[in-house]
Amino acid sequence: MIKSIQAYRGFAALLVVAYHANLIAGKYFEQTVVTKFFSFGHSGVPFFFVLSGFIIYYIHWSDIGRPFRAKQYLQKRIVRIYPIYWVVTLAVLPAYLLVPSFGSPYHRELLALIKSLLLIPQDHSPHLAVAWTLCHEMFFYLLFAVLIYKKILGQLFFVTWMLTTLAAVIATNFGDGIIQFPFTFLFSIYNLLFGLGLLAGWLNRKFPAKLERIRLPAFALGNLLFLATGCMENYWTGKNDGSVALFGIAAFMLVISAGNNRVEKLFADKKLLQLFGNTSYSIYLIHFLSVSFLGKVFSQTNLTNVLPDTITWFLLIILATISGILLYKFIERPSLDLARRLIAAKPFVSR
């Protein structure tokens, strides 16, 4: 994987951790100027969506239109997403079942749990709240499988999906359009970000030489737009579809810059950033549970009265990130290796 892309994954994960740590700060101790600045940390989510579109196309572009590769592609996606997600979801399940005040009534319903475990969209969050993004991911993966199985049909699906989603977003923001579930899922603005990622992947594969001329300016403009959008959202507009779109465009520019020699040199020897990138999925899955638990512990032990609020916030981020790294090292990585060995042992899988 391109080093800068791995670094971007790490940055996106840390932004989301900082965002939720700021929310917890507002609940258990005081937010500060520093913590409030990261109110735009949710921008890590649009970044992840664009990255997902790019990575899937960049890795699987040669599979498009080759039906015999669809099964292997889906196996890889399922193995990548589900095992560690199930571990974290089932780990938090006893809290829902044993503490009536914890969660909502649907957290104790069997059908809702099954749908959550399968990442089937519902009109509420999955049992692991951050997994709402994974529902979109799996839907995107399934549509890309259609593209692999039948290129023309897949292209028709994607073009129709993107155009319909764009129309729905415009109608919701500038007209009288009001949509409800499941259309809020099917035509969410976040789905457009997959399209930006696909476009970035297509450009990287189709026109690498021509793209090289603009990679460095795209890197500079992408960073500038990302920070400018964050400041605009923090101090002026607040979060809205417009800021989500701008974060997506900034992420598109940064992804386009990937592969440039100067950009790669910035990240190639940054082992810590590469570690964050490698462990970003585990960090994303576990971080909100970690900061919520730690915030309560810090509050009840009066640690929040001893340490400055900004230091406490940093401590939340550091410990939540470490919990994700440990989850990756001791559960995600071994489970991935085991699942891949089991799949590779089956004779019908293409090697």
Q: How far apart are the C-alpha atoms of 325 and 279, rounded to whole Å?
A: 6
Q: How confident is the model at residue 346 (pLDDT cuts 50, 70, 90)?
A: low
Contact 199, 159 (CB under 8 A): no
Please report the pLDDT score of residue 304 as a whole number. Answer: 80
Q: Is the pLDDT of residue 228 over 50?
A: yes
**Segment 34-82, tens digit of pLDDT:** 999 999 999 999 999 999 999 999 999 999 999 999 999 999 999 999 9
Q: How confident is the model at residue 269 (pLDDT cuts 50, 70, 90)?
A: confident
Contact 29, 309 (CB under 8 A): yes
Q: Give the CA count within 13 Å in the CB-facing half-sphere of 200.
A: 31
Please report the pLDDT score of residue 344 as a whole number. Answer: 72
Please report the pLDDT score of residue 349 as a whole number. Answer: 36
Average the pLDDT over 270-275 and give the result.
91
Contact 141, 74 (CB under 8 A): yes
- Other beta carbons within 10 Å of 303: 16
Q: How far apart are the C-alpha atoms of 199 and 3, rounded to whole Å?
A: 20
Percent of the chain with pLDDT over 70: 97
Contact 189, 245 (CB under 8 A): yes
Q: How confident is the model at residue 351 (pLDDT cuts 50, 70, 90)?
A: very low
Q: How far apart are the C-alpha atoms of 44 and 34, rounded to whole Å?
A: 18
Contact 238, 207 (CB under 8 A): no
* CA angle centred on 106, ends 104 and 109, rounded to 5°: 135
Kindly state the tokens that stand for 115: 């749908």
* CA angle centred on 128, ends 125 and 130, rounded to 5°: 70
Residue 181: φ, ψ to 5°: -60, 140
Average the pLDDT over 216-236 and give the result.
96
How many Å from the N-terminal Cα to the C-terminal Cα in the chain? 20
Where helices occur in 175-207 by DSSP H, the ranges are: 183-186, 189-206
Average the pLDDT over 160-171 and give the result.
95
**Segment 113-158, tens digit of pLDDT:** 999 999 999 999 999 999 999 999 999 999 999 999 999 999 999 9
Q: How far apart are the C-alpha atoms of 43 and 314, rounded to whole Å?
A: 19
Q: How confident is the model at residue 303 (pLDDT cuts 50, 70, 90)?
A: confident
Please report the pLDDT score of residue 48 as a whole number. Answer: 97
pTM of the complete model: 0.94
**Segment 82-108, tens digit of pLDDT:** 999 999 999 999 999 998 888 899 999
Where helices occur in the chain by DSSP H, the ranges are: 3-28, 33-37, 44-60, 70-98, 110-118, 132-149, 151-174, 183-186, 189-206, 208-232, 241-257, 261-268, 271-278, 280-300, 303-306, 309-327, 333-344
Give the list of residues 6+ apart from residue 152 with CB closer than 8 angstroms, or none.
none
Q: How far apart are the C-alpha atoms of 300 and 12, rounded to whole Å?
A: 30
Q: How confident is the model at residue 177 (pLDDT cuts 50, 70, 90)?
A: low
Please report the pLDDT score of residue 152 as a whole number. Answer: 96
**Segment 202-217, tens digit of pLDDT:** 999 999 999 999 999 9
Q: How confident is the model at residue 350 (pLDDT cuts 50, 70, 90)?
A: very low
